A and B are shown apart, each in its own frame.
Chain A
Amino acid sequence: MLKKEFQEKFTGFPNYLKSWVKTFTGGLTLFVLLSLLILPFLSQNQNFTHVFLRQFTLAMIFAIFAASWDLLTGISGQISFGHAIFFGIAGYICAYLISYQHYPIWVALIIGALGAVLFGLIIGIPCLRLKGPYLALGTLAFSLVLLKLFLMGSLADIFFGSEGISALPKISDDPVVEYLSLLILMIITFITIIQISKSKFGTILKSIRDDETGADASGINTTRFKVYAFMLSALFAGIAGSCYALFATSVNPTGNFGAVISFYAILMASLGGLTTIRGSALGAFFFVFLEYSLIIAGAELYVNLIFALILILVVRFSEHGILKPILERIKDVWDVLLGR
């Protein structure tokens, strides 16, 4: 049965792709992806490739991170205020394996992500009894505990203390290769999460979000599915975390486990639009480039303040995020241009 469905989907895929591109969002997405693909080759200028382009790479890392959060909170309804846990633990595992065990970069990256999945399981299970704001607090508490643990000077032998691990390699010394690697990872992540969301399994996750008691009454083992949601979300957050460690070439407690990182995930996904998944990319790019602009303008101190204000404004005026309204405006302009 499954094989037949898969075969049908596979042979139908080229047609599906063609009809997808013809839709507005499909065409727009393709246009954006193609632009991102061409971008690195537009200039050979050192400043462009080593600084400006790397901002895009950073944005893509955070896009993956934000999308992982949207999968857990927007799709599955499990509010996480401690996503930094998965981000940080993956980064540390990746850093440790490379620096101390001389693992190859990609192997360390993947094992880091798998370590995050394990934490998804470890944290998911106790937190499952909690709902709504209590779950949010539970996850936040976990992340703060972990932060403290890694900061403790007395445990520096095991957890590397406040200095962390530095002198890590990048994914590639060529920023263009680094950029393209992240682009591919981002595309794979988004396709996977969107397909999960659209699948029958995704429907179960959404039912738990919409009415957990109703899902129980429908014979669904909601506990098991919530754990799955935690683990899947942790996987992608871990991929982002490992990539970030390699991007920043170092890991340290505040930089990788800080509570503010958890808030970045919430910020970017909410800005883009909860449950949209694609909105996470929009939110991440918006966030990274806004910060970049503020730093260039010398207003670095105000970054978090401005983000908090933006989040408040979005929640107040466009609570479903900015992706849909923006897409609608673009579509209107497009229709006008085409004379409709």
Chain B
Amino acid sequence: MGIILEVKNLTKKYGGLTAVNDFSFEIKRGEFIGLIGPNGAGKTTVFNLISGFDKPSSGSIRFDGMDITGSKPYKIVNKGLARTFQLVRSFKYLTLLENISVPSQSHRGKEASKGVGIDAYASSILASVGLVDKARIPPVVLPHGDLRKLQIGKALGTNPELLLLDEPFSGLSHEESQNLTDLILKLHDDGLTIFMTGHVLRELMSLVPRVIAMHQGKFIIDGTPQEVANNKIVLEAYLGGGDSFA
């Protein structure tokens, strides 16, 4: 049960704007953690810095003991850290099966699919996210909930140990949210470490045992949903910022 992700003094400045300010935290293997903060708090920036899509101004990021600060995204993915995006993205002109076959051809994906072949491996991942009956369909015709599941499927294709989910519930109907919740819980039960962002506290409260809260790029508190919900600064950040957290 070691530490799988260690972030120390992470800082990102864009000219005069400090988007992430001296942010530090640790995640242990097998945990299920939420990252909350009002819109603009810097959650996606933190994700981008960890996953290599942006370079930190200072600070360090260690994954599974390895320094990944400033590494290229595909290299980080091949160490076992995968992510989804807030704005759903897919390979529009490929079928769902082909969408999954792409990450299946990453180094990690190829390792994981060695025994069964890429098509079988990709199929099984589609099955695990509940999309196997749409394998030959392109993403264009799918509803939003399915696209979110596809994104998770693509991340799973790289056989990750840590999965970063960026606002996975945004834009979903109640039923789709429930569906997605079941999937995420199942993935966690199967041993995946999950780090998830959201800006509505209620969604996360019932799901995660531990929450990290941030505001204006800074760390506020790390604790149980109860502790975080009752924290003064968190309350001010949400209520003061005009965002409902109810």
Contact A219 B74 (CB under 8 A): yes
- Name the B residues within 8 Å of A211 (CB-CB): 89-92
Contact A220 B89 (CB under 8 A): no
Per CB-CB distance, the 6 closest pairs between chain A and chain B, nearest first, are: A219-B106, A218-B103, A219-B77, A210-B91, A207-B102, A216-B73
| CB-based nearest B residue for A214 | B89
Contact B105 A221 (CB under 8 A): no
Stretch from A15-23, A126-134, A198-206 that touches the partner: A198-206
Bound-complex Cα distance A204 to B94 (A): 10
- Name the B residues within 8 Å of A203 (CB-CB): 94, 98, 101-102, 105
Contact B107 A200 (CB under 8 A): no
A-contact bits for B72-94, CB 8 A (1 contact / 0 none): 11100110001101000111111
Contact A217 B94 (CB under 8 A): no
Asked if B148 is an interface residue, CB under 8 A from chain A, the answer is no
Contact B118 A220 (CB under 8 A): no
Q: List 27 A-B contacts (CB under 8 A).
A: A1-B114, A203-B101, A203-B102, A206-B94, A207-B94, A210-B90, A210-B93, A210-B94, A211-B89, A211-B91, A213-B53, A214-B85, A214-B154, A216-B72, A217-B53, A217-B74, A217-B77, A217-B82, A217-B154, A218-B102, A218-B103, A218-B106, A218-B154, A219-B103, A219-B108, A220-B105, A222-B74
Asked if A152 is an interface residue, CB under 8 A from chain B, the answer is no
Bound-complex Cα distance A209 to B108 (A): 22
- Name the A residues within 8 Å of B108 (CB-CB): 219
Asked if A136 is an interface residue, CB under 8 A from chain B, the answer is no
Contact A216 B74 (CB under 8 A): yes
- Name the B residues within 8 Å of A215 (CB-CB): 91, 102
Contact B106 A220 (CB under 8 A): yes
- Name the B residues within 8 Å of A221 (CB-CB): 74
- Name the A residues within 8 Å of B101 (CB-CB): 200, 203
Contact B92 A204 (CB under 8 A): no
Asked if B157 is an interface residue, CB under 8 A from chain A, the answer is yes
User: Given contacts A1-B117, A200-B105, A200-B118, are A217 and B83 in contact (CB under 8 A)?
Assistant: yes
Contact B109 A219 (CB under 8 A): yes
Bound-complex Cα distance A307 to B220 (A): 64
Asked if B21 is an interface residue, CB under 8 A from chain A, the answer is no
Shortest distance from the beta carbon of B64 to any chain A beta carbon, whole Å: 16
A-contact bits for B36-64, CB 8 A (1 contact / 0 none): 00000000000000010100000000000
Bound-complex Cα distance A206 to B99 (A): 10
Q: How large is the interface on A (under 10, 10 to 19, 20 to 34, 35 or more residues)?
A: 20 to 34
Contact A218 B92 (CB under 8 A): no
Asked if B158 is an interface residue, CB under 8 A from chain A, the answer is yes
Shortest distance from the beta carbon of A105 to any chain B beta carbon, whole Å: 40
Shortest distance from the beta carbon of A307 to any chain B beta carbon, whole Å: 28
Shortest distance from the beta carbon of B144 to any chain A beta carbon, whole Å: 17
Shortest distance from the beta carbon of B139 to any chain A beta carbon, whole Å: 10
Known: A200-B101, A218-B106, A219-B74. 7 other contacts (CB 8 A): A203-B98, A206-B98, A211-B92, A217-B82, A219-B103, A219-B158, A220-B102
| CB-based nearest A residue for B157 | A218
| CB-based nearest A residue for B159 | A219
Shortest distance from the beta carbon of B126 to any chain A beta carbon, whole Å: 15
In residues 131-168 of chain B, which contact A (Cβ within 8 Å)?
Answer: 154-155, 157-158
Contact B77 A218 (CB under 8 A): yes
Contact B102 A204 (CB under 8 A): yes
Contact B94 A219 (CB under 8 A): no
Contact B93 A206 (CB under 8 A): yes
- Name the B residues within 8 Å of A222 (CB-CB): 74
In residues 99-126 of chain B, which contact A (Cβ within 8 Å)?
Answer: 99, 101-103, 105-109, 114, 117-118
- Name the A residues within 8 Å of B77 (CB-CB): 216-219
- Name the A residues within 8 Å of B73 (CB-CB): 216-217
User: Given contacts A200-B118, A204-B102, A204-B105, are A219 and B91 in contact (CB under 8 A)?
Assistant: no
Bound-complex Cα distance A200 to B85 (A): 24
B-contact bits for A271-299, CB 8 A (1 contact / 0 none): 00000000000000000000000000000
- Name the A residues within 8 Å of B82 (CB-CB): 217, 219
Contact A219 B89 (CB under 8 A): no
User: Given contacts A203-B98, A203-B101, A207-B102, are A217 and B91 in contact (CB under 8 A)?
Assistant: no
Looking at A211, A213, A218, A220, the one whose CB has the most chain B CB atoms below 10 A away is A218
- Name the A residues within 8 Å of B155 (CB-CB): 217
Bound-complex Cα distance A213 to B105 (A): 16
In residues 175-232 of chain A, which contact B (Cβ within 8 Å)?
Answer: 200, 203-204, 206-207, 209-211, 213-222
Bound-complex Cα distance A34 to B232 (A): 81
User: Given contacts A214-B154, A218-B103, are A207 and B109 in contact (CB under 8 A)?
Assistant: no
| CB-based nearest A residue for B139 | A210
- Name the B residues within 8 Å of A213 (CB-CB): 53, 85, 89
